[in-house]
């Protein structure tokens, strides 16, 4: 049979398949329609003209207009294999399957026509990422997005180890092996195809068919994720770009903020020799509803629950599920929706710690393990604490920071006022930070290999970290015993362990839920103080009484900057009494939040 006829038979079979698919689509949705103005129509017209030019050029050169029939069948079969193995959305809607198949075949032809064997450099990493993504989506309910990339770039050794279970290592190895095999199959498939014009024509024809088939899909059922692999490659590049853009844009934003000390300010309550210690502790991933003092059925906060000088805020809303945005909202005059670029919500001045340092407080900062300091999750908090006279890192267990705090206090004059800024791992994934030898909640495990399948042990591990934080506060309070001290704790954001149907913050975007519609936006927040503190100045006792009177109102991280100023009566033009919880004029948080019953 002539080669030309072979080619015709091949496309007759493909067209027949498309017609069947179109008939199913039409019969399955009586509301089907398409607009002639849709982009796919314009794209199809361009493909028609390009294909006509390619066919004409092939005839002029006297070569075949298309690759041999067996090559076309191989491309189509290889595209089917790739879709079945690597396309996360292939089985979500079978109506899209023929369209995705043709688009994959078009991509293979066009990529080989442009790069030849160098296509492997592009395809192999892509195949590996897609295979790993399918496994990750099955386990964690998310795909590779900007948050996943950002957290991967800045993960500590502890976080990495939490995910390097035997099962995950096996999956990663299988993804690498699978990606290599698929790449080798691609080379074997097209190794003899040297006429690139024929491949371009084939790619255009496959793309044209894909475009025609997409018109048979009802508009309500169309989904960009089904435009695989083209949209998937675009989404990966966009996720990488977005992660880096937010990284550098956030750092640049914080670097550009003027210090609040550039405006006149005054501190009327202290003279500098009272020996007051103000602890500012930004915790990590502690949900308010997992704290015993907020009614949780487990006593995860035994120390705090026994304190009579505790001022607890059970309904505190965090600014975002992003650590940096939360830190900015806590330490500057920023409000919320920082990334939305609403001028009213943006920070206009730098860290409140600068003001305390300018009025005689010695700022000593205690961080967790130092890593990725050129990236925003470590860089931003260091920029916001650049007034620190001391910086300490506590590798491993955050409890190791306690002797560092004690030594710092011992080396400086007892009568010196100081701020102890603490920012450690707390309840961040993978929930390692607790004493495994005396964990109160068992069975407890930090396995993040399919956490939904290990829900009990993972949730127990999380509760153990909250209990651990309670013990951390207890140990710091013992170190401060006998001094006038005030302890402010607020977590940066919550965590998802099956709450709202989500496992992990990275899955939030895939869930279609807004952060402030979920229970994860409520975070732990409390003040603790010594009897010596309220005796230092009458204003302190009055401020603490007013603070306690506001514990039932919804509050947010945007209150912290102004409340810190108000408690110490630190006057500055940046102060806003409506956001000062120690002021009678304080107003409740009015931004987005989930219902209390949720």
Beta carbons of 556 and 523 less than 8 angstroms apart: no
pLDDT at 179: 92
Contact 48, 201 (CB under 8 A): no
DSSP assignments along 315-372, one per residue = -EE-S-SSHHHHHHHHHSS--S-GGGT-GGGS--S--HHHHHHHTTPEEEEEESS---
Q: Cα(89)–Cα(94) distance, rounded to whole angstroms?
A: 9
The span from the CA of 203 to the CA of 210, in Å, is 10
At residue 10, the 3 state secondary structure works out as helix
Nearest to 421 by CA among 403, 434, 405, 442: 405
Query: Pairing between strand 555-556 and 390-393?
Result: unpaired
Average pLDDT of the segment spanning 413-442: 88
Task: Give the separation between CA 202 and CA 108, rounded to whole angstroms.
Answer: 10
User: What are the two backbone dihedrals, phi and then psi, of residue 366, each rounded to the nearest 5 degrees?
Assistant: -130, 115
Bigger pLDDT: 102 vs 2 = 102
**364-368, 510-514, 517-521: least confidently modelled range:** 510-514
Query: Which two three-digit tokens encode residue 47?
Result: 């493909």
Confidence of residue 574 (pLDDT cuts 50, 70, 90): very high
Residue 201 CA to residue 183 CA, distance in Å, equals 22
Cα separation, 134 vs 132, whole angstroms: 5
Angle between helices 166-190 and 119-140 (to 10 degrees): 150
Residue 34 has a pLDDT of: 47
Distance CA 418, CA 560 (A): 18
Checking if the pLDDT of 243 tops 70, the result is yes
CB 429 within 8 A of CB 162: yes
Lowest-pLDDT choice from 103-107, 157-161, 298-302, 317-321: 157-161
What is the pLDDT at residue 59? 65
d(CA 489, CA 422): 9
With a cut of 60, say whether residue 29 has pLDDT above it.
no
| Helix or strand holding residue 242 (H, E) | helix 230-256
Which of 201-210, 275-284, 321-330, 450-459 holds the top average pLDDT?
Answer: 275-284
Could you give the count of Cα atoms lying within 13 Å of 558 in the half-sphere of its Cβ?
26
First to last CA, the chain: 70
243 or 37, greater pLDDT: 243
Q: Please, how many CA atoms are within 13 Å of residue 447, restricted to the half-sphere of its CB?
A: 18
CA distance 70 to 6: 9
Of the listed ranges 36-50, 302-316, 470-484, the least confidently predicted one is 36-50
Give the mean pLDDT of 228-250. Answer: 85
pLDDT above 70 as % of the chain:
81
Residue 35, pLDDT above cutoff 50: no
| Other C-beta atoms lying within 10 Å of the C-beta of residue 252 | 10
Pick the closest to residue 37 from 196, 168, 219, 300 (CA basis).
Answer: 219
Is residue 372 over pLDDT 50? Answer: no
Residue 140 scores a pLDDT above 50: yes
The torsion angles phi and psi of 6, rounded to 5 degrees, stand at: -55, -45
Residue count of the chain, please give it: 598
- Given CA atoms 223, 504, 290, 521 in this order, what sign does their dihedral have? negative
Identify the band that residue 203 occupies on the pLDDT scale cut at 50, 70 and 90. Answer: confident
pLDDT above 80 for 571: yes
Asked if pLDDT for residue 162 goes beyond 80, the answer is no
Contact 144, 133 (CB under 8 A): yes
CA-wise closest residue to 165 among 204, 135, 121? 135
Pairing of strands 310-312, 555-556: unpaired
Q: What is the pLDDT of residue 371?
A: 47
* pLDDT value at residue 388: 95
Higher-confidence residue of 319 and 33: namely 319
What is the model's pLDDT at position 50? 66
Question: H or E segment at 549?
Answer: helix 538-549
DSSP state letters, 454-479:
GHHHHHHHHHHHHHHHHHHHHHHHHH
- Of the candidates 10, 87, 24, 50, which has an alpha carbon nearest to the alpha carbon of residue 213? 24
Confidence of residue 573 (pLDDT cuts 50, 70, 90): very high
pLDDT value of residue 157: 65
Average pLDDT score over residue span 78-105 = 84
Q: Characterize 255-278 residue by residue with b for buried, 16 or more Cβ atoms within 10 angstroms of its Cβ, and e for exposed.
A: eebeebbeeebebebbeeebbbbb
The pLDDT-based confidence of 566 (bands split at 50, 70, 90) is very high
Give 28-53 as a 3 state SS string: HCCCCCCCCCCHHHHHHHHHHHHHHH
- Overall average pLDDT of the 201-223 stretch: 76
Q: How many helices (H) and strands (E) does the chain have?
A: 20, 12
Q: What's the pLDDT at 5? A: 45
472 SS3 class: helix
Given a cut of 80, is residue 224 above it in pLDDT? no
pLDDT digits (tens, 9 = 90+) for 74-86: 898 999 999 889 9
When pLDDT is averaged across residues 142-149 and rounded to a whole number, the result is 79
Cα 175 to its chain centre, rounded Å, is: 23
Q: In the prediction, which pLDDT does 16 show?
A: 59
Helix (H, G, I), strand (E, B) or coil at 503: strand
Average pLDDT of the chain? 84
In contact, 304 and 310? CB cutoff 8 Å: yes
What sign results for the dihedral spanned by CA atoms 137, 141, 144, 150? negative
| Residue tagged 């491993």 (tokens) | 396
**pLDDT of 292 above 70:** yes
Instruction: Name the more confident of 423 and 248.
Output: 423
To the nearest whole percent, how much of the chain has pLDDT over 90? 43
**Which of 161-165, 368-372, 433-437 shows the lowest mean pLDDT across its residues?**
368-372
pLDDT the model gives residue 143: 81
Q: Which residue has the tokens 């491309």?
A: 75
Residue 19's pLDDT band, with cuts at 50, 70 and 90, is: low
Residue 528 host element (H or E): strand 525-529
37-41, 104-108, 475-479 — most confident range: 475-479
Alpha-carbon gap, residue 137 to 511, rounded angstroms: 12
Task: For residue 575, give the nearest of 539, 543, 583 by alpha carbon.
Answer: 583
Task: Say how far apart CA 567 and CA 20 lie, in whole Å.
Answer: 73
Cα 503 from Cα 450, distance rounded (Å): 9
Model pLDDT, residue 97 = 79
Whether the predicted pLDDT of 7 surpasses 70: no
Kindly report, as residue ranges, where domains of CATH 3.40.720.10 are found in the chain: 280-526+533-579
- In tens, the pLDDT along 534-549 reads 999 999 999 999 999 9
**In the numeric block, which tokens belong to residue 523?**
């975070």
Q: Is pLDDT at 361 greater than 70 in this prediction?
A: yes
Which pLDDT band holds residue 344 (cuts at 50, 70, 90)? confident
Which CATH architecture best describes the domain 280-526+533-579?
3-Layer(aba) Sandwich (3.40)
Cα 69 to Cα 124: distance, rounded to the nearest angstrom: 26
Query: Residue 60: its pLDDT value, please?
Result: 64
Averaged pLDDT, 562-587: 97
């Amino acid at each position: 049979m002539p080669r030309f006829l072979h080619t015709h038979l091949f496309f007759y079979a493909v067209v027949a398949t498309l017609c069947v698919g179109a008939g199913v689509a039409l019969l399955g949705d009586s509301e089907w329609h398409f607009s002639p103005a849709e982009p796919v129509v314009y794209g199809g017209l361009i493909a028609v003209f390009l294909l006509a030019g390619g066919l004409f050029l092939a005839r002029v050169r006297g070569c075949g207009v298309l690759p041999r029939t067996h090559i076309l069948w191989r491309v189509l079969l290889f595209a089917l294999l790739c879709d079945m193995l690597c396309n996360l959305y292939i089985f979500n809607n079978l109506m899209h399957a023929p369209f995705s198949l043709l688009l994959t075949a078009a991509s293979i032809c066009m990529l080989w026509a442009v790069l030849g064997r160098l296509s492997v450099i592009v395809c192999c990493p892509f195949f590996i990422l897609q295979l790993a993504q399918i496994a990750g989506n099955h386990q964690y309910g998310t795909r590779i997005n900007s948050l996943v990339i950002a957290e991967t770039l800045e993960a500590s050794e502890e976080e990495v180890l939490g995910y390097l279970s035997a099962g995950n290592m096996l999956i990663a190895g299988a993804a690498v092996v699978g990606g290599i095999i698929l790449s080798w199959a691609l080379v074997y498939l097209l190794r003899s195809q040297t006429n690139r014009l024929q491949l371009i024509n084939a790619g255009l024809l496959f793309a044209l068919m894909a475009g025609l088939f997409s018109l048979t899909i009802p508009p309500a059922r169309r989904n960009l994720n089904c435009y695989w692999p083209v949209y998937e490659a675009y989404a990966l590049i966009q996720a990488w770009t977005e992660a880096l853009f937010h990284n550098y844009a956030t750092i640049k934003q914080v670097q550009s903020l003027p210090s609040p000390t550039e405006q006149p300010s005054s501190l009327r309550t202290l003279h500098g020799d009272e020996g007051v210690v103000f602890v500012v502790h930004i915790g990590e991933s502690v949900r308010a509803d997992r704290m015993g003092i907020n009614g949780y059925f487990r006593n995860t906060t035994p120390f705090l629950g026994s304190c009579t000088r505790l001022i607890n805020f059970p309904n505190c809303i965090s600014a975002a599920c992003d650590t940096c945005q939360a830190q900015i909202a806590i330490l500057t005059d920023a409000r919320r929706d920082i990334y939305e670029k609403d001028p009213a919500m943006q920070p206009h001045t730098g860290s409140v710690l600068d003001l305390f340092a300018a009025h005689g407080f010695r700022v000593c900062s205690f961080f967790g393990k130092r890593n990725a300091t050129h990236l925003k999750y470590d860089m931003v908090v260091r920029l916001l604490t650049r007034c620190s006279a001391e910086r300490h890192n506590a590798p491993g267990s955050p409890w190791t920071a306690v002797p560092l705090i004690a030594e710092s206090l011992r080396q400086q004059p007892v009568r010196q006022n100081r701020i102890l800024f603490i920012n450690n791992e707390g309840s961040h994934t993978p929930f390692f930070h607790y004493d495994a030898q005396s964990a109160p909640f068992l069975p407890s495990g930090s396995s993040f290999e399919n956490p939904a399948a290990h829900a009990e042990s993972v949730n127990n591990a999380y509760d153990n970290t909250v209990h651990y934080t309670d013990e951390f506060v207890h140990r710091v309070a013992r170190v401060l015993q006998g001094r006038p001290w005030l302890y402010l704790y607020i977590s940066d954001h919550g965590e998802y362990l099956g709450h709202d149907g989500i496992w992990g913050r990275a899955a939030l975007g895939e869930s279609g839920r807004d952060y402030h519609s979920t229970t994860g936006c409520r975070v732990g927040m409390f003040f603790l103080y010594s009897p010596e503190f309220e005796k230092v100045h009458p204003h302190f006792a009055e401020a603490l009484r007013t603070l306690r009177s506001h514990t039932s109102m919804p509050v947010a991280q945007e209150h912290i900057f102004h409340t810190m100023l108000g408690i110490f009566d630190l006057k500055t033009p940046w102060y806003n009494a409506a956001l000062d919880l120690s002021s009678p004029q304080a107003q409740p948080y009015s931004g987005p939040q989930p219902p209390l019953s949720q």
